[in-house]
Amino acid sequence: MLHRLLLTAAAAMCFAAAAAGAPYLDREKGFSVEVPEGWTQQPSNDFPLDLRLLSPRRETTRGMCLLMSQERSNTKNMTQAEINAAMKDQANEAFWRAILTGDQSARVTDLTITVAQETRGERTVGRATVQGTATRENVALPFQFEMMLQAVPGYSYMTHCLVKRDQVAVEAADIKTVIDTHTPTGSAGVIASVLPPRGAATPVAAPHPIFDAEADAFRASLREILKRTSR
């Protein structure tokens, strides 16, 4: 029965229609997103956090999304095709599990992780739907996370949304709006070309992890989410 409930909650998020949102553009940090109706916007300069979005129903649902970005020197000279190959190889179930279990300030148990990768324009995007229970300061939170990692040459963008597991259906459409519309627009100018040089060989996956800093950013967002929900 419990397994069926978990699958139902995940399906509600996957198949919900996106809600209409208001456009939000941050030219300095190079991203745009549609903010669901009624959600509170809290811009941030607390690196790597760019923007908090808080649901008007947060007291009941704990609904929120954190949007982050980083400038990344290790991908600056990579083509988009090479970054995509690394994303396909490295943004796997083990990557997301290590993020959620690698922070000693929170105890995350009963994890169910569903990994997906999708193509957005020229980018391969890594996504995970995560269900589990997080315990911090003796407060247990049965949660569902929607997490997304995007990377372009020289920059990465991360989305981390939370909802209580028994409230997934209430926030599904709004969280889908945030996940679907959080988009790199370029930072301080034009994003480097997403096309490999003419005559370049087919890219292969990077031989070493290139998303370690992004994993650390997700761990920081996990700490903030749990801090806010345990108040």
* 88 found inside a domain: yes
What are the CA-CA distances from residue 128 to residues 14, 76, 206 (Å)?
Answer: 11, 25, 21
* 49 found inside a domain: yes
* 194 found inside a domain: no
pLDDT tens, N- to C-terminus, the chain (231 residues): 434 344 444 444 444 665 557 899 999 999 999 999 999 999 999 999 999 999 999 999 999 999 999 999 999 999 999 999 999 999 999 999 999 987 766 788 899 999 999 999 999 999 999 999 988 777 788 999 999 999 999 999 999 999 999 999 999 999 999 999 999 997 533 343 333 333 343 444 444 588 999 999 999 898 888 777 755
Q: Are 118 and 127 in contact (CB under 8 A)?
A: yes
Q: Are 147 and 96 in contact (CB under 8 A)?
A: yes
* 119 found inside a domain: yes
- Nearest CA-CA partner of 171 in 43, 49, 5, 19: 19
What are the CA-CA distances from residue 91 to residues 33, 183, 218 (Å)?
Answer: 22, 18, 13
* 145 found inside a domain: yes
* 70 found inside a domain: yes
Q: Distance between alpha carbon 161 and the CA centroid of its chain, in Å? A: 7
- Nearest CA-CA partner of 147 in 123, 109, 112, 116: 116
SS3 call for 210: coil
Helix axes 2-15 and 168-181, enclosed angle (nearest 10): 40
CATH of the domain at 82: 3.40.1000.10
Domain total in the chain: 1
* 92 found inside a domain: yes
Q: Which residues contact 183 (CB under 8 A, 6 or more apart)?
A: 31, 32, 33, 120
* 191 found inside a domain: no
> Structural domain of residue 76, as residue ranges?
2-185+211-229
For residue 78 the two structure tokens come to: 């990579």
DSSP at 187:
S
pTM over 0.85: no
